[in-house]
Amino acid sequence: MTKEKSQNSVHNKTVLKAGYLAIVVNLLLAVFKIAIGTISGSLAVISDAIHGLIDTLSGIIVVTSEKLGTSKKFNKDHEKIEHIGALLIAAIIIIVGIHIFAESIEKLITPEEVEYSAPVIIVLISSVVAKLLLGRYLKTTGTKVKSDTLIASSVETINDSIISGAVLLSALIYLIWHINLEAYISRIISVIIINFGLELIFPKIFKHHHGH
């Protein structure tokens, strides 16, 4: 019993540490991206920043579901709470995907001039690297402590690095050849995001049914 309690304590501390780290990294990156997105007039960068803020929310869900799951009242339902946390993250991913898809159509109808500068490129490169490292850390940690919520959060973080990478690519193409691909890249990104969300949501539903 003591050994099990000790293992649970290590599990809780590890998940909470990873959750707090995800919140801090995502919040910092989102703030920088909102600033450079506003200055450059890039909808793709602002959408990326909004997604980053939602990543922050997913980090808060990780921490909250872990804290609820470890309280005496909720201890029996810990696994169920982890599943709910993972489902919430999946739902958030799908909502963001739909939002970016709608914005990209608007951008295609009324294209605007974008000003990409050195700070924009630097922040986007930093964002891709930071997200990949964070995603890898969350996946490794989530697998190690068998946390569904952390694994779901790692998928979303890696997904966000793909978004930043695509935005970075469109910025470089615009700087070199003056071709504005923002609307097209945003639309492709939105489909990828929705797909990620669906991949997360369906295994959880099936797992939940099998549990009954």
Sign of CA dihedral 175, 101, 22, 6: negative
In this prediction, residue 77 carries a pLDDT of 67
Q: What is the dihedral of CA 171, 49, 21, 135, to 10 degrees?
A: -50
DSSP annotation of 41: T
In contact, 185 and 44? CB cutoff 8 Å: yes
Q: What is the pLDDT of residue 69?
A: 65
pLDDT at res. 141: 92
Tokens for 132?
Answer: 């990949």
For position 124, what pLDDT does the model report?
A: 92
The per-residue pLDDT for 5 is 59
Tally the C-alpha atoms within 13 A of residue 32's C-alpha that lie toward its C-beta.
17
Which residues of the chain fall short of a pLDDT of 50?
1, 206, 209-212
Collapsed DSSP state (helix, strand, coil) of residue 113: coil
